[in-house]
Amino acid sequence: MTTVLLAAMAPSCIWLWYFYRRDKRPEPIGLVGLGFLLGLGVVYPTCLVQRVLLPHLPELSPNQDFDLLLVSTTVLAGLVEEMAKFSIVLLVFAWRRDFDEPVDGLIYATAVAMGFSAGEDYLRHIDGVEWSRLLNPPGHAMFAAIWGFGLGLHLIDGRWQPLALRLGLAVVIHGLWDALSIYREIEGRWWVPLMVFVLAFGLFWALEQKLQRLQDPAMAEAFRRSRNRWRQLTGSAK
C-alpha cells in the first residue's frame, strides 16, 4: 500500500514543484497545497459520474473503431475530469486576493490537476513503472494549463467566449490523449506511442510559452487594474 501511494504521489508532486518554481511571484504554498488536496478529493466523485455514464457510451476497447473510442474518452476523461478541475479553480481560487496575476490561473489549475492525477493513479493501483502512467501527471497539468491560461486572460478582459473555447480544446485534447493511450495496446500500432510523445512535447512547449506570456509585466499590470475595478464594484474582500 505504501509503495502504491508513493508511486502515485511522487510524480505529481515533482511536476507540481516544477511549475510552482516557474512562477516568478510564487503563490502561498498553503493555497497551492489546498488545490492539490481538492484535486485529490474530487477523483472519487468523478469516478462515480464516469461509472454512471459508461454504459451509455461506446466500449472503451483497443478493438473499438477509433472515432467511437474518441467519443467515449472525450466524454468520460475530457469533459467530466476537466469540468471537475475547472469548477474547483473557478469556485475556490479565482476570486481570492492571492489570485493577483494572470499566471495564477495556470498555477492553481496545475495544482488541482496534479492532485487529481495522484488520486487517479492511486485508484488504479499502480505497482510498477509504465510509460503511460508516467505521462499521466504532465498530461493532466497540460490539459488544465489550457483553460488555466484562459481563466487568467478572462479575468483581464471579462470575455467568456475565449475561456469557453480553451476549456473545450482541453476537453478534446484530453479525450484524444486517452483514446491514443488505449488504442496503442494492440500489437503492431508502433506509431501510436510516437504520436502520444509528439502530442506531449507540443503541449509542454505550449505550456512554457504560456508561462512566459502570462508573466509579462504589462499583462500583470492590466490584470491588477481589472481585479481592482471588479473589487470596487462588488466590494469583494476575499
Answer yes or no: are the C-beta atoms of 140 and 105 closer than 8 Å: no
pTM: 0.82
Q: Which 3 state secondary structure label does DSSP give 195?
A: helix
Q: What is the pLDDT of residue 88?
A: 96
What's the CA gap between 222 and 153, in Å, rounded?
10
Residue 199 C-alpha cell reads as 502530442
Q: Specify the number of domains making up the chain.
A: 1
DSSP-derived secondary structure for 45-113: HHHHHHHHHGGGS----TTS-HHHHHHHHIIIIIIHHHHHHHHHIIIIITTSTT--STHHHHHHHHHHH
Give the model's pLDDT for residue 37. Answer: 96
- Chain segment 15-25, per-residue pLDDT in tens: 888 888 877 78
Q: What's the pLDDT at 189?
A: 64
Q: What local confidence, expressed as pLDDT, does residue 127 receive?
A: 46
- The pLDDT tens digits of the residues spanning 131-163 come to 556 678 888 888 898 899 888 878 777 778 888
The predicted pLDDT at position 237 comes to: 46
Helix 160-183 / helix 66-73 crossing angle, nearest 10 deg = 130
Q: What is the pLDDT along the chain (238 residues), one digit of tens a residue?
A: 667 677 778 888 888 888 888 777 888 999 999 999 999 999 999 999 999 999 999 998 888 888 899 999 999 999 999 999 999 999 999 888 777 777 888 899 999 999 999 998 887 765 444 555 667 888 888 889 889 988 887 877 777 888 899 999 999 989 988 888 887 766 556 566 667 767 777 777 776 676 666 666 666 666 666 655 555 554 554 4
Q: 124 lies in which domain range?
A: 2-234
Say which residues have a Cβ less than 8 Å from residue 229's Cβ, sequence separation at least 6: none
Backbone angles phi, psi at 70, to 5 degrees: -65, -35
Half-sphere CA count of 157, side-chain side, radius 13 A: 10
What local confidence, expressed as pLDDT, does residue 102 receive? 76
**Eight-class DSSP state of 185:** T
Euclidean distance between CA atoms 2 and 153, whole angstroms: 41
Chain position carrying cell 496545475: 110
- What CA–CA distance (Å, rounded) separates 20 from 86? 18
